[in-house]
Chain A
Amino acid sequence: GDSVTQMEGPVTLSEEAFLTINCTYTATGYPSLFWYVQYPGEGLQLLLKATKADDKGSNKGFEATYRKETTSFHLEKGSVQVSDSAVYFCAPQASGGYQKVTFGIGTKLQVIP
């Protein structure tokens, strides 16, 4: 079945540090790739997505590139802020007419001033 591997964390960074959260996946077919973020006490929300190889998704300074050859979708941000403290989920979503997103365990990020 489909699976996702991402670092569990917690990851603790100082404000303005560079962030990388690695994500690799196994999936049948040609999945779309998503990063979702969960702020404390809230549900998940879309951060960015990419739907085909070499696509780069970006939002709020975060970026991730769909690497089909390495089945990876690593999340990066050049300069994190305290407000970025949250849990980040990598999620491949299979093509086809049904919904079954496979979520990673989530990576907790804590940014300290």
Chain B
Amino acid sequence: KAGVTQTPRYLIKTRGQQVTLSCSPISGHRSVSWYQQTPGQGLQFLFEYFSETQRNKGNFPGRFSGRQFSNSRSEMNVSTLELGDSALYLCASSLESGGANVLTFGAGSRLTVL
């Protein structure tokens, strides 16, 4: 059973650019959530998608957006990049949403903004 796949694994951008990250969940998983991980802030919730609908959103500016496709694959986009956006972006999928559902994480996309 294939795990959660995130692409690209590493990328370098400059301030003002935009970036799109992709996440392919485990087959059959309908929920995809995104997290930003930084050394100072730990893991912070960005948003969750379930059956192509954004169900929940964290406290991030509107520059951060996402979507989910009918095959449950998800993308997140960050526009007008800032230095502080440098982080590891983790995607996690689960069968259903909330409660006792276990999150399965991808290896992450490490974004460096110069």
Contacts and interface: CB of A to CB of B under 8 A. Distances in A.
Contacts of A42: 107
Interface stretch (A10-18, A45-53, A71-79): A45-53
Contact of A34 (B4, B44, B55, B102): B102
B48 interface: yes
Given A44-B90, A44-B103, A98 B56 contact: yes
A81 B112 CA distance: 33
Interface string A67-101: 00000000000000000000001000111111111
B86 interface: no
Nearest to B33: A99
Main secondary structure of the interface of B (DSSP, over half): strand
A98 B101 CA distance: 10
A88 to B, nearest CB: 12
B32 to A, nearest CB: 9
Interface in B34-92: 35, 41-45, 48, 50, 55-56, 58, 90, 92
B22 interface: no
Interface residues of A, number: 26
B99 A32 contact: yes
A105 B42 contact: yes
A99 B50 contact: yes
B106 interface: yes
B100 interface: yes
Contacts of A61: none
A43 interface: yes
Interface of B: 4, 6, 31, 33, 35, 41-45, 48, 50, 55-56, 58, 90, 92, 94, 97-108
When A and B form their complex, which 6 residue pairs have the shortest distance between CB atoms, in order from nearest?
A43-B105, A103-B43, A105-B42, A99-B48, A32-B100, A44-B105
